[in-house]
Structure 1
Amino acid sequence: MASRSRRRRAANKAPDGSRRRVPMRLLLPMLVLVALMAMLMLRGYVHSEILADHRIQPEAAADRVPEKIIDGGPVIDTRSGRTTSLRLSDHRLVLTFDDGPDPTWTPKVLDVLKEHHAHAVFFVTGTMASRYPDLVKRMVDEGHEVGLHTFNHPDLSFQSKKRIDWELSQNQLAITGAAGIRTSLFRPPYSSFADAMDDKSWPVTEYIGSKGYITVVNNTDSKDWQKSGVDEIIRNATPKDGKGAIVLMHDSGGDRRQTVQALDTFLPMMQEQGYEFDNLTEALGAPSAHTKVAGLDLLKGKAWIFLVSAADNITGGLVVGLAVIGALVIFRFVLMLLLSGVHARRVRRRGFSWGPPVTEPVSVLVPAYNEAKCIENTVRSLMASEHPIEVIVIDDGSSDGTARIVEAMGLPNVRVVRQLNAGKPAALNRGLANARYDIIVMMDGDTVFEPSTVRELVQPFGDPKVGAVAGNAKVGNRDSLIGAWQHIEYVMGFNLDRRMYDILRCMPTIPGAVGAFRRSALERVGGMSDDTLAEDTDITMAMHRDGWRVVYAEKARAWTEAPESVQQLWSQRYRWSYGTMQAIWKHRRALIEGGPSGRFGRVGLPLVSLFMVVAPLLAPLIDVFLVYGLMFGPTEKTIVAWFGVLAVQAVCAAYAFLLDREPLTPLISMPLQQILYRQLMYVVLLQSWITALTGGRLRWQKLRRKGTITAAPNAPVQHRPVMDGRSAG
């Protein structure tokens, strides 16, 4: 055992003897987090709002636009320096549909076109083509042409050439990924007739032509976006005197029911008048606008479509996770508020007692490994105890003189037991073997007790059904921001939880800093186990399964030194999280067992799993969707929802602080804690999951202590000569 512990400590050091840095351990969880955020941002981008095509632009001069363009047709060709335009011959109609594909209306439009043996041109946006690639493929497969309508529908007249290039290339990438083609057709957003070309839009048309695209506007606007009725749409779409026309319609951007109905009437009506409905190149007698794509360009397009689909699926899962965490947060807070109030009223009512007063001496076990900075304060706080005690300090192979410090204090009721380094569970079992009394109090070597702590901690043993008692652990070094955050967590997340779990009779953890056990109960479950890294959670669950009650003593206060750096906090919570998962897995058979074990398994294990593993893992989604909502909307609803969750948490925190009789000042930092602290706990849990799933073994890491926590100010030292002052080794 000793050699294994030494190997554990060695494994935590780099080849040069220095400690391994936390960022190396953060790498995989951070990569997962970044990947999830990237998928969410991608989803937000391709789902960004597309404005309607009927926006009215302020008038601009047209001095630089050639007359033959203004007076020409709706097909404008500026490729290779050309300045030409084309019209359709009589009785030729090209139906064009903008802003799609839409999952509801585009299939209906395609169905009507297929029924009447008509072809059309669909000017698709990159965002919609990326989301619904199957519809783009159907368009091409059924003989229709597709054209570019930019990626996310900006007015190109006010964009840089770099932005224009990006809009075209991304739109083309989406079409390639969807249908395996490139297209040479382009329609600018917010375009109208050729005679509406002005000095802002014409340079864009020339530039796009230099990139190999033909610009297609229209000369007949159905104005279906006005939703003025089927008859009006048909009237607007009908050319005069048998002329050919390019007709503008929409298959996306809102409810297109009237467009579909009008189309179903318009097509046969115009066909009876001798009109043909072709795609653009058919109507012009030109080569197809589509070019097959192969090789690397096709792979890029397919990869893009895959990523967008993955982003949608992942985001869908995250939305489900957000709903789950929302339900868990509400459920947990309702339970905590109700049951913690019940607990407080029960233990504070006049005349309440657990049973006959417990006055017999108890054994206090203090496992210590390199606690030279803290151990004297710890032991002296015990000397002020109002309850008769013996103190056994188990030095677990310390190299800093911890044992010598205790021995040099010369206190008559304190013993030191030395052993080679074997870990905390072994140290506690060694202390148990040396203990004289039937009630065993356990505390950490960096913790101090108040004079009343032991007395308050052991009173519940007046009830013979009680096998273990959890005390009220508090953060002593709360002056720093990270200390204040842990203080909030201890008061709200631990002590309020313990009140709730006490009432539900499924408390998951007796804190290592302050807990007490009935000796017979410990012996029945085999003592402290080193099967997990959370020996306190492990032993508590074993107590429940053996039929013992585990209760919370709110007045048994202990002051512990919390980690003072992110690295130390990370190390501690990583061990706690992984150890809790190990304990849940170890005691999983309680789910199917009968008796007290089954009750704990079917009540306690699910609650512990939900509140201590699942909820913290999903909690950062609240902040992730805050960022998402601020970027992509709806902004106001997102902000209200986030502050609503914060308000609920603040109410619970304030209630917890009032129950613990703590000042509310630290809660000022709670909003920042919720943003930053949640992310740290998320990464801790994520890495714990990864460690568990990959079969990794987490090593014990000793936290650096400063020894700044002392007992209550000016508390007198009371020597209680219970023991004869021997040291054992």
Structure 2
Amino acid sequence: MLPLRFVLPSLVLAAMIVMLLLRGYVHSEILADHRVQPPTATDRVPAEILEGGPVIDARGDELHSMSVPDHRLVLTFDDGPDPTWTPKVLDVLKKYDAHAVFFVTGTMASRHPGLVKRMVDEGHEIGLHTFGHPDLALQTDQRINWELSQNQLAISGAAGVRTSLFRPPYSSFADAMDNATWPVAEYIGRQGYLTVLNNTDSEDWKRPGVDEIIRRATPKGGKGAIVLMHDSGGDRSQTVAALERFLPGLQADGYEFRNLTEALDSPSALTEVTGTDLWVGRGWVFVVQASEWITGILAVGLAIVGSLVIARFVMMLVLAGAHSRRVRRKGFSWGPPVTEPVTVLVPAYNEAKCIENTVRSLMESDHPIEVLVIDDGSTDGTAGIVQAMGLPNVRVIRQLNGGKPAALNRGLANARHEIVVMMDGDTVFEPSTVRELVQPFADPKVGAVAGNAKVGNKDSLIGAWQHIEYVMGFNLDRRMYDILGCMPTIPGAVGAFRRSALEPIGGMSDDTLAEDTDVTMALHRAGWRVVYAENARAWTEAPESVQQLWSQRYRWSYGTMQAIWKHRHAVIDKGPSGRFGRVGLPFVSLFMIVAPLLAPLIDVFLIYGIIFGDTGKTILAWLGVLAVQLVCAAFAFRLDRERMRHLVSLPLQQVLYRQLMYVVLLQSWITALTGGRLRWQKLRRTGVVGAPAGTVPQQRGRHSDDRRPVG
């Protein structure tokens, strides 16, 4: 059985897709009422049908063909109801006390049930025009039954009635019946329906002009007629204008405008629906209305996320480029070189597979350091491994398991130097990392520095996806935030702090699961500047399984939400320290919480467009979005001097990886809204990332073991 954390977000995503598919289903295109197939032979059509009237009754053993008596007109309107034109048609009919027959499609009746109800309430009759308006001559009996039943379902839910009137799409006069359409009329009759054709076609769908519509709709010599018009399927302004003249004009000539059964002096074609059928119909209409409402919101969400994505890409390209030009220009420096020793804190919990690589990489540093390994209650001999190495300037501090913030604060209390570098126990530094990381402290306003965290195990597919994310999403973002002066996070894998900046804010807090984001926000609010050092590279081991990736990102997402909530009052901070609240907090909320949550809408609407829209244009639009992302990713890779070959997996990342991140973020929202608590998640490490040789990390053999979570 799937865990609840997978089920709930997956159900939300599935519900969005179902609502969109339902909307597409009831938004099928309505074509003008003319045959899409050429007529065939008529040798199977009875003569009394070809020579008879426009109403065909094939319900019994004998065929009956009926015509409307003289001086009676039955106006019929096909393809509606339309929210724009049907009310105007109804208004004109009501103005002149005229009744008509509306042959509605199930798709339109489901979307606009109030108009169907109004038709019935004002004395008009309703007829079936199928659910989706297909040419029934090309369909199977099963499809015909389905079209009829779905059409009745929509009418029942909208107006609480059933109808016995039916008009096939693309129908014409009775003498136009052929060997393709007559079997449909026969079958429809056996199902209990009257087939209603017409003998006077206004051809208003061609929009020939008001005078021409009136001329074509007017019968000759006072004869009765069934007149074909349309209240949907396009611009029906000429139809409405023609009715304003047609109705009073023919009434003055002695014509009566009645619905069909009134004109034929027959019992009403409408019967009341009760019981289960009524509630099933109402349920259908309710679901369709819900889909209209929900997909409307989703469309707004798509517009929002589209705007956010484009805005973020533009800002990243412009500001990251500006950051690169600034720090790489000839003569740039933070001030006098920082040469004083620093303390490197390495919190470690069950890092036996990684800790030796981590410490040895620090010993290659070209900057003077002391190393404090804080063993947070490890049970796998992590502390013993470090002590057995017997390295100078490396101290091991043991403590009971208290979590990463407690370990870092213990290290801060024992640090000998003002500048403190923090890293994870599974991370390795290059020889120049510490030196590059601490140079910004030449500026006395700088309180913390974010380094360039990179994925060391990027040869697997999941690793390659995270590599793209780190280079494009994290490091490109940090360049942008550096320019804006509102860096949201010092990565736990590689960051540096002034002790004099940390101590007044209480050091590393355990109020959230994202202590690195929490402390960064606190430093901003204390008035310190936080910057990014692109050359301070650290190689970290990214999760290599979906479960491990889930655990890590779930903690990050939930912890970020906690940090945003904790520092929500930053938006009203005054002075320079309020810049983060005015700029950084809204940016983090939009780009890290809202936009990723809405990102799946791009793929959901892609499915919708392929099924119900212009497939070519839909795919082209999606490829356009992908191309923009590819440009940004290539730009980020160029800035980081990374090989472009890993971008081959970018399209698949956008299809699969983004959905996983969506589910993680949605589950974080659910946890936050329901008041749930999330424990620290200890990731399972393999020791795959070794000490770097120059600037490229070496790889060791893979191992696996089971670890219990911290905290």
Verify: 1:505 aligned to 2:485, yes or no.
yes
Unaligned runs of 5+ in 2: 697-711
The alignment covers a number of residue pairs equal to: 697
CA offset at residue 650 of structure 1?
1.3
The RMSD of aligned alpha carbons is: 1.6
| One-letter identity of the residue aligned with 1:327 | S
Give secondary structure in 2 for the equivalent of 1:168: helix
CA offset at residue 711 of structure 1?
2.0
| One-letter identity of the residue aligned with 1:139 | M
Please give the per-residue CA displacement for 1:201-224, whole angstroms capped at 9, x wherever unaligned: 222222222222111111111111
Q: Distance in 1 between matches of 2:49 and 2:278?
A: 35
Verify: 1:175 aligned to 2:139, yes or no.
no
More divergent stretch after superposition (76-85 vs 322-331): 76-85
Q: Distance in 2 between matches of 1:82 and 1:483?
A: 75
The share of aligned pairs that are identical, in percent, is 79
1:16 match? none
1:533 match? 513
2:308 match? 328
Verify: 1:38 aligned to 2:13, yes or no.
no
| One-letter identity of the residue aligned with 1:425 | P
CA offset at residue 56 of structure 1?
4.5
Alignment of 1:461-540 (within 5 A): 461-540=441-520
Decide which of 355, 358, 361 is 1:378's aligned counterpart: 358
Verify: 1:135 aligned to 2:91, yes or no.
no
Q: Distance in 1 between matches of 2:676 and 2:41?
A: 70
1:367 match? 347
Decide which of 258, 268, 271 is 2:238's aligned counterpart: 258
Contact 1:448–1:560 (CA under 8 A) maintained in structure 2: yes
Contact 1:570–1:684 (CA under 8 A) maintained in structure 2: yes
Verify: 1:656 aligned to 2:636, yes or no.
yes
Contact 1:362–1:437 (CA under 8 A) maintained in structure 2: yes
CA offset at residue 249 of structure 1?
0.7
Give secondary structure in 2 for the equivalent of 1:394: strand
Decide which of 319, 325, 346 is 1:345's aligned counterpart: 325
CA offset at residue 186 of structure 1?
0.6
Give secondary structure in 1 for the equivalent of 2:692: coil
More divergent stretch after superposition (92-101 vs 625-634): 625-634
Q: Distance in 2 between matches of 1:557 and 1:480?
A: 21
Give secondary structure in 2 for the equivalent of 1:710: strand
Q: Distance in 2 between matches of 1:636 and 1:106?
A: 33
Alignment of 1:217-366 (within 5 A): 217-366=197-346
Q: Distance in 1 between matches of 2:82 and 2:61?
A: 36
Change (3 A) 1:81 1:577: farther
1:18 match? none
| One-letter identity of the residue aligned with 2:221 | D
Alignment of 1:153-164 (within 5 A): 153-164=133-144
Please give the per-residue CA displacement for 1:126-163, whole angstroms capped at 9, x wherever unaligned: 11111111111111010000100001100111111111
Q: Distance in 1 between matches of 2:403 and 2:187?
A: 73
Decide which of 646, 661, 665 is 1:666's aligned counterpart: 646
Q: Distance in 2 between matches of 1:336 and 1:227?
A: 51
1:634 match? 614
Decide which of 530, 539, 544 is 2:524's aligned counterpart: 544
Give secondary structure in 1 for the equivalent of 2:471: helix
CA offset at residue 453 of structure 1?
0.5
More divergent stretch after superposition (534-543 vs 128-137): 128-137
2:74 match? 94
1:106 match? 86
Decide which of 406, 413, 421 is 1:426's aligned counterpart: 406
Contact 1:223–1:236 (CA under 8 A) maintained in structure 2: yes
Verify: 1:215 aligned to 2:179, yes or no.
no
What is the TM-score when the length of structure 2 is the normalising length?
0.96
| One-letter identity of the residue aligned with 2:306 | G
| One-letter identity of the residue aligned with 1:666 | H
Q: Distance in 2 between matches of 1:673 and 1:82?
A: 66
1:451 match? 431
| One-letter identity of the residue aligned with 1:455 | R
Decide which of 116, 132, 140 is 2:96's aligned counterpart: 116
Contact 1:93–1:276 (CA under 8 A) maintained in structure 2: yes
Contact 2:437–2:449 (CA under 8 A) maintained in structure 1: yes
Task: Flag the structure with more relative contact order, 1 or 2, with Cα contacts below 8 A and sequence separation at least 6.
Answer: 1
More divergent stretch after superposition (345-354 vs 442-451): 345-354
| One-letter identity of the residue aligned with 1:630 | I
| One-letter identity of the residue aligned with 1:702 | K
Q: Distance in 2 between matches of 1:241 and 1:112?
A: 25
Contact 1:22–1:567 (CA under 8 A) maintained in structure 2: no
Contact 1:546–1:596 (CA under 8 A) maintained in structure 2: no
2:49 match? 69
Decide which of 416, 425, 429 is 1:436's aligned counterpart: 416
Q: Distance in 1 between matches of 2:250 and 2:125?
A: 21
What is the TM-score when the length of structure 1 is the normalising length?
0.94
CA offset at residue 715 of structure 1?
9.1
Contact 2:87–2:115 (CA under 8 A) maintained in structure 1: yes
